[in-house]
Structure 1
């Protein structure tokens, strides 16, 4: 696959930016601003605030979009500079950015930062992005926000639920994502436990370029993040009295190899650039500082996307064409230990060492940090022409439908020769993970079989926008496949094994674990 030659893209920053905090006479000051940056907005305050914005400004739309496990609905807010909210009209010509907040219920900085961003856009306090539509889910984990806890009402991690869909929130999120079809997805998160020696208020992570795709991944690495950083550095010079420390202005990369179970991993399946912004609340950094950092990075991403709009659209076409031409698809990656790079880590000198290391926050230093920046393919599959999913697997079909997978049904009973997998081996976690005894390291064998299918069974062609989603869920070897998430555990229960051994006399052990999704070459 050839790499696209990146054209020179220049982000021109002219004029003065509006200060982060709104003036006292602004009737649309957020609860966060009214507290002088000391507290976050309560959930009901967030929703009422967006409702009020939508009533006052034609450029803001507020919609109810589905259920959550809290009993409260999920919402969608859209900023469109010309007050057109039919996103399908803009999909070819404008960059659509979707911002998701509070997947972790304690990750509230993004909630307040996004409120300020939408207010400033609506009031034209910052440069109006003519080529960008900004969309947000104000609060995704509503139960977590209400109860000040990371997890959902039933203790699920919503950032691990995008494939298995155990929580109502997930189906509502998927509905929103499929309706919006964003070009850039921003997940606003936080951390309070890891990387305790950071001076940085904020870090970001993206999928490695190999996972994201050479065109979109290359754009993130070589254009988007460098230009966002340049924008922030210029803004640092404008705001001499800003509360943000210098390390923020050059955001620190924390590499990730997220799989499709996460919001970032899921978004990348749909020809979408995905970025996770993490604020760092450890060491009791001022809340205002964390919100401001989050706001500034989102605003910078909007500005760069606005300037690069036409180029982003070209890259998405190139990426889609590259995916279409793939004959083999990587379903699992691993770190290439032969490839590494270094970044500047702003931290502190060691003060004392007892049972733990204590740092002196009055003595900042810069260290070189090494990380592995390349992946290599650990497993891949040939790309079929189609899949056949028997209608009996209704939970799988429900999730395919929720993701707008294009399917047709057989109009009569039919016998045909198809490729089938035999599950040769797999491993299973010792204790439940997110409510499942997750399988992993699944190995398969392929064989041809004549199979009788029923009227109403589903035929799914691979040549469609859901191509990567299908390969990552229907191929049993994929880390987040439906098989590994236990959707087909009935085929491996002991009763069936005993019956099959009797029937097949162990002539072909692969038939004992016959995977019930079939491939047409």
Structure 2
């Protein structure tokens, strides 16, 4: 397929050879021209700046020329949000969105079909990466001729930054997303990996994680309609090819979209999210056409079922405010396999010319179609009893501001207050990944001990009630065991360090007295000696154990998670 130039306001993609994408400057100038020419259709606005000081923009399209968010929300208008260019090396969505917005401006019947629905879009989210253009960073990708880079100005992947918000872009996005509160989101991407027949694959918000009747609606109504409509429009689509083994014929499983990713982040706000992934080995013009079709299909479904989606979202928020237990971690459920009709290519293996192994390739001259296993369910792996509220000490300002950016209702205590029953966590083990991950030493393994005690809060500390619409965001960021909690991302790492030490030559006598005065320490020490006889000749190891586990010199804040749950 090749691009066909549009007679009015052609995009750079349409004006080229079907293998070119708009630069950031071309994209912004295009929308500025449309906004000036069609002020009753498109409002164009600056929403912030990136880490390198580049403006970030968003656009709003409505059929009746009402653009102000407060007015639209008073009218309870449904909002469809299209995010593009989070990975500028995957630019199909940038070009598809330009053409779609142009057609809203120039085709009255297309605009009218929006009805009450608001078409909200970010044309290029990662503006830093979009300016870093070349044609080699996406290894083996088939076009376009030049494209942007995944990393932003801080060399961060913005599709890992939605919770930690290290980048200015993510901070802008958190506030923007929360303010507009979209009902449905499509965040456009390109996939690599195995070769197969479909140009388009799709990652939806995982329905089990989304939960309740909203998750059921996504699984039972929305996804079948999207797949069916894509097939009828000539772009058959399959679930994202998340391999169980080395090749698709071994089966696939749902992508577990954690809150660090756009669709997982959307789920914290009870928004239905989609991450379409076109296949990088298909011609660029085909990928753009498939992406535009996908956006149109999801938009069309949203327009047709807006009232139902909005009602289910309201129900989900109401249920969250009353929830008695909260899932914190999920896993793919391999006990309930489904089947998926899949069109693939024969995997062939030949001796490598680089090493002594068999290389894998896919032979497009040997296509196949058959049922493969598809694990499309997820189950809870960890849950917690819902507290009445959380208490965040005011010292943890970065945590508090992220809660505020995401619409979590907070209250500052006006006076010191003693709470009788607080769930307190002590961190027994926090094991980070061996290498830095997106600027953090992310804690892959967290082991906690829990107890209840009275808690003295100070005036200015932050009360976070859970009988509120944003309860899910609060729970999944403040509970340390949750997949993408603030604790896992290292926001509380300072409590993992003991601040005081000892001088061995004077501590020896103190340690002996501690063993006499603290029976629990003596018992623990005897067990430690049996388990570690090789360390008994190391005075730092012996004295270090007694110093760390004794009560006499205990540091109350060491390994104590600062946020408490009020029961």
TM-score by length of 2: 0.81
Q: Quick one: structure 1 residues 501 and 518, their matched pair in 2 at CA, closer, same or farther if it must change by over 3 Å?
A: farther
Cα distance, 1:258 vs. partner?
1.4
Check conservation: 1:424, 1:510, Cα contact below 8 A. no
Alignment-derived partner of residue 55 in structure 1? 36
Within the candidate set 89, 103, 107, 1:120 is matched to: 103
* Cα distance, 1:320 vs structure 2: 2.3
Higher mean displacement: 172-181 or 499-508: 499-508
For residue 295 of structure 1, the aligned residue among 272, 292, 302 is 292
1:111 is aligned, of 87, 94, 106, to 94
What is the aligned length? 487
The Cα of 1:135 is off from its aligned counterpart by 0.7
| Cα drift, residue 491 of structure 1 | 0.9
Kindly indicate whether the alpha-carbon contact (under 8 Å) linking 2:80 and 2:117 is maintained by their aligned counterparts in 1. Answer: yes
| Pairwise CA distance, 1:274 | 0.8
Cα deviation for residue 443 of structure 1 reads 2.4
Correspondence for 1:45: 26
| Mapped partners of 1:353, 1:251: distance in 2 | 28
- Greater Cα offset, 412-421 or 427-436: 412-421
What residue in structure 2 maps to residue 152 of structure 1?
Answer: 152
1:82 shift after superposition: 0.6
Q: How does 1:102-501 map to 2 (within 5 A)?
A: 102-124=85-107, 126=110, 128-147=113-132, 148-192=148-192, 194-195=193-194, 197-236=195-234, 248-254=235-241, 255-282=254-281, 285-350=282-347, 353-354=350-351, 355-417=358-420, 418-495=422-499
Note if contact 1:500-1:512 (Cα within 8 Å) is conserved in structure 2: no
Give, in angstroms, the shift of residue 53 of structure 1: 1.2
Matched residue of 1:473: which SS? helix
Q: Distance in 2 between matches of 1:145 and 1:114?
A: 16
* Residues 67-112 of structure 1: per-residue CA shift (max 9 Å, x gap): 2123112111111111111234444643211111111121101100
For the Cα contact (< 8 Å) 2:258–2:484, is it kept in 1? yes
Q: Secondary structure at 1:513's aligned position in 2? A: coil
The answer to which of 437-446 and 385-394 deviates more is 437-446
CA RMSD in angstroms, aligned pairs only: 2.4
Show CA shifts across 1:217-250 (max 9, x none).
22222111221233233333xxxxxxxxxxx324
Residue 51 of structure 2: aligned partner: 69
Structure 1 residue 179: Cα displacement? 1.5
- 1:82 and 2:64 are equivalent in the alignment: yes
* Distance of 1:162 and 1:497 partners within structure 2: 38
What SS does structure 2 have at the residue aligned with 1:494?
coil
Question: Unpaired runs of 5+ in structure 1?
Answer: 1-18, 237-247
Residues 386 and 461, structure 1, Cα contact 8 Å, conserved in 2? yes
Residue in 1 that maps onto 2:80: 97
Residue 520 (structure 1) shift: 1.3
Quote the offset at 1:37 in angstroms. Answer: 2.1
- Partners of 2:321 and 2:466 within 8 A in 1: no
- Give how far 1:482 is off: 1.2
Q: For residues 363 and 202 of structure 1, what CA distance do their matches in structure 2 show?
A: 20
Distance in 2, matches of 1:120 and 1:461, equals 45
- C-alpha spacing 1:421/1:510, structure 2 compared with 1 (3 Å): farther
* C-alpha displacement of 1:432: 1.1
Runs ≥4 in structure 1, deviation > 4 angstroms?
19-24, 496-504, 507-512
Q: What is the alpha-carbon distance in structure 2 between the residues aligned to residue 509 and residue 428 of structure 1?
A: 23
Per the alignment, residue 505 of structure 1 pairs with 550
Q: Which residue in the other structure is 1:241 paired with? A: none
Q: What residue number does 1:516 align with?
A: 562
CA drift at 1:122: 2.1
Query: 1:119 offset after TM fit, Å?
Result: 1.2
- Which string of whole-angstrom CA distances, capped at 9 and with x for unpartnered residues, describes residues 417-474 of structure 1? 2332122323221111111111133222222333332221111111222211111111
Note the alpha carbon deviations across 1:235-280, whole angstroms, 9 max, x for none.
Answer: 33xxxxxxxxxxx324434421111111111111001001100011
Q: CA deviation at 1:496?
A: 5.0
Within 1, Cα distance between the matches of 2:398 and 2:269?
Answer: 22
Which protein shows a greater Rg?
2
Structure 1 Cα separation of the partners of residues 113 and 80 of structure 2: 14
Aligned counterpart, 1:35: 16
1:310 counterpart SS class: helix
Q: Is the 8 A contact 2:3 2:16 kept in 1?
A: no
Distance 2:5 2:125 in 1: 29
Give the Cα–Cα distance (whole angstroms) in 1 for the partners of residues 453 and 230 of structure 2: 59
Question: What do residues 31-60 of structure 1 show as CA deviations (whole Å, max 9, x unaligned)?
Answer: 111114221011111111111111111111
Q: Distance in 2 between matches of 1:353 and 1:420?
A: 57
Where does the alignment leave 5 or more consecutive residues of structure 2 unmatched? 133-147, 242-253, 352-357, 503-543
User: Are residues 56 and 433 of structure 1, via their aligned partners in 2, closer, same or farther at CA, if it must alter by over 3 Å?
Assistant: same
Q: Using a 3 Å threshold, how does the CA distance of structure 1 residues 412 and 343 change in structure 2: closer, same or farther?
A: same
Distance 1:322 1:462 in 2: 11
Residue 16 (structure 1) aligns with: none
Q: Distance in 2 between matches of 1:177 and 1:293?
A: 26
Question: Which secondary structure does the structure 1 equivalent of 2:499 belong to?
Answer: helix
